[in-house]
Structure formats: structure tokens, C-alpha cells
A and B are shown apart, each in its own frame.
Chain A
């Protein structure tokens, strides 16, 4: 596959949002040093009907990244307030849909946002978008609060862990670019897939319970979710080939 070096800065300038991130933001540098595949560049140059929406997505993702790095490095309270204003209403919606009382939801939002403040330094923009990081914190708090379960997780430093393969096709695209693609792809999902996907993430329900509520066979729910995830994963991989969904 042909590789264009320095494609990143070209794309950024071409997209006209070089002003949205601080020069010091390390997350711009991809982990493996590879450039974006040329297919992506071509796709970017072609006129697209939702170009404006995608630019807005990208700008928003850059802004949230920047705010988080200001919280991490400068303990910037104004940046933190801006993060709160973005995420608190979304977290409330997320937690209420999971069946929490309003009071419990707001206590959980407090815990999530205070955790964001304390752990901002551990946030790595090369690994995930800010919204993904905060989603994971909120999901874990929700499990703790609603089910009092623990959530078994791997230990990245475990000597028994089988390490990642060196060539990750997932890594050839910048996290923020993937995130912007993802926003667009979610808007373009067929409504019946988008509906089930939201339920699967937001409502703390087993897929069988979703099937009962939507009066669909369990197999239909599973296959729609599988299709939705496969479609989104394919776009995130940033490649038109080689993805085994």
C-alpha cells in the first residue's frame, strides 16, 4: 500500500482546522509513525454532502482533546468547566436511560467528573477519544452503582497477557479522525440499527430484554447489532480492505 509521509499535517491544513488544537498536543502524533493511507486523502478531497457536519465533528473532537490536555497539564479549571458543560448533560441522559433516579444520576456525574479531574494525566489521546475515555469511566461507575457488581478487566502489565501484534491496521488512522468518521457513520446508520445500538449502550439491558421490549426475535436484535458494529468498525479501521468485520 502506498504511504504518503506527512499526510497528517496536509490533511489538517486542508481541512482548515489547524487552529483548533494547541501546538503542544502530543495526540497528533500517531503511535506507529505511519501516515494515513492515500485512499483517505482522496476521499477527503472529493466533495461530500456532509462535509460541514464532519468538519464540525472534527472541530469538536479537537476542542475536547485540547480541554482535557489543559486540565492534565495546567490543572486549568476553566477548561474543566467547559468539559463539564459538554459532558454533564450527556452523562445525565446516559445514566437516566439506564434506569437511575435523577439524584443518583447526578451523584454519579459528580463522581465521573471528579475522576476526570484526577485522572486527566492518564488520558492518552493516541489511544482513545475523550468521549470514549469518559464513556468508560461512566460505564464503570454505572455498573458499580446499579448492580454492585465488579467488572472483570485485564491487567495491561500482567506477564500472562498476550501482547498486541506489532502491525495494527487500526493504528494507521488517527484516533480523532476515526472518531469523526464514527460520528458521521452513526448518523448514517439505518434507523432500526441505530435504535438498537443506543439501547444496547444506554439502557443497561441484556440483548434478550431489548428483543422483548422491541417485540423482535432475539436473533434479529443480535444480527442488527452485529451489522451496525461491523459497519462502524470497518469505517474506524480507516481502510477499504483487509477488515474482517
Chain B
């Protein structure tokens, strides 16, 4: 029996991912959870089916007269260009990091370039648009300083585990905290805890696009 996660993203987060309205950064954390969670994969597949049914149920709008012949004239040509895929580093038989995260890191866990931020905590930024994503490595048994968030924070455990007031989180578990939560996670004492975390950039009132311009502020 495989261990499947016990803590999942909210259904509205899965819905935003399925509908394609979730930005890249939170999508990366959600999709990495999906790799480890058959339950949420089935949820997302069902939500995509809802998208298909909504598309089918739509009355539609007239298209230009020439559109069909434009399409037909392209059928013998090449397929439309796809967004370039990231280069995949070769991995062993049981990588710690699942896809899509591995492609963002450029390899498995040994490719992460950690830097120490405070004693007991190493971090590494993950390049991504639409918010700040970072890897965290919390030393076994360490408690993080008590903190609140200026925005939403999503954390996904990839190795080890941690506990806070809301529960115990292990590989594949997804924790969401919003600004009202004042929590103090403590890493399990049987090994370092490795997580990926997304933080909604602060200064939330300055609007959707200004936020991206904000220098990345630490929580």
C-alpha cells in the first residue's frame, strides 16, 4: 500500500488550477502535490470534465467566414509550436523531487543550491512567475520562529515532516495558511524536513501587476 497524503489543497485551489486561472507559482506547488496525490488528481480530472461540459453547453459565437479554410490549409503543416520544455536532468529510480518541480530545479534534490538564512534553516529560491516560491530545509527537531504571513502561504512537504497547531505533515501533505494564522512549525526529529513553499508576495493592495515588481520580501 502506498502512502497517500492526508492534507490536501482546498477545492477552490484545485478548481483554479483546473480552470487555468491559478498563477504559475502556486500552480507549481499544487501540481507537485498532484504528483504525490492520486485523490486530488481525480478531483482535477473531474473539474476538467466540468470545464468540457461548460464549453459544450455554451451557445457559442459566430466565427469569421475564412476561419475554417485557414485551419484546413494548416492541417498538412507542422503542429502549432509548444512552449519550450525545460531541460530534464537524468534522475535515479526514486527521485525525492517529483515533476514538475524537478524541471524547475534542474534536477533532483542534490541540485538545489541552498543558502543558510537563520540557524537551522536553509532556503533556495525557485524561479517562477506569479509569486515567490522557495525550497526550505529545516534541521531535524528545529522550531521555526513564530511568524504570520502577509498573504497566503502554501507549503508542501517533500521529505521528513513537521507539526504545527493544525496537524502533522509528511511527504505529499499540503498546508495552507492565511494571514490570520499565527503558527510555529516544528520539524520532526527523525531527519531534516524539506518543503517547497509558495508565498503570495506582500503589499497585496497595490494590484495584480505591481506585485510582481515588488522586490521579494522575506516573510
Contacts and interface: CB of A to CB of B under 8 A. Distances in A.
Contacts of A24: none
Interface residues of A, number: 82
Interface stretch (A6-14, A26-34, A37-45, A230-238): A230-238
Contact of A77 (B10, B58, B75): B75
A114 B71 contact: yes
A74 B70 CA distance: 21
Contacts of B28: 152
A143 B20 contact: yes
Contact of B2 (A77, A138, A162, A222): A162
Contacts of B94: 159-160
Interface string A90-127: 11111010000000001001110111011100000000
Interface in B29-46: 30-32, 34-38, 41-43, 45-46
Main secondary structure of the interface of B (DSSP, over half): helix
Contacts of A222: 10, 12
Contacts, number: 224
Nearest to A131: B52
A79 interface: no
A109 B169 CA distance: 43
B35 A154 contact: yes
B63 A109 contact: yes
Given A135-B52, A136-B48, A222-B12, A152 B24 contact: yes
Given A93-B59, A114-B74, A144-B83, A230 B11 contact: yes
B202 interface: no
Contact of A153 (B46, B61, B100): B100
Contacts of A132: 48-49, 51-53
Interface in B52-69: 52-64, 67-68
Given A84-B68, A225-B12, A161 B35 contact: yes
Nearest to A151: B27
Contacts of B41: 154, 164
A202 B72 CA distance: 27
A73 interface: no
Given A152-B31, A152-B104, A204-B21, A115 B80 contact: yes
A202 B54 contact: yes
Nearest to A102: B64
Contact of B63 (A92, A163, A225): A92
B142 interface: no
Given A154-B34, A233-B43, A179 B74 contact: no
Interface in B128-148: 129-130
Contacts of A207: 12, 16
Interface string B152-186: 00000000000000000000100000000000000
Contacts of A90: 55-56, 58, 60
Contacts of B31: 152-154
Contacts of A91: 55
A139 interface: yes
Q: A-B pairs with the 5 shortest C-beta distances?
A: A89-B60, A132-B52, A131-B52, A160-B98, A155-B99
26 contacts: A80-B75, A88-B60, A94-B55, A96-B61, A106-B63, A106-B67, A109-B71, A110-B71, A111-B80, A135-B52, A136-B51, A141-B80, A144-B83, A147-B23, A147-B24, A158-B35, A162-B2, A162-B3, A162-B36, A186-B54, A204-B21, A205-B21, A207-B12, A225-B12, A229-B46, A232-B46
Given A90-B55, A114-B71, A182-B50, 11 more contacts: A114-B80, A132-B52, A143-B20, A152-B30, A152-B32, A165-B2, A182-B53, A187-B57, A200-B16, A229-B46, A230-B11
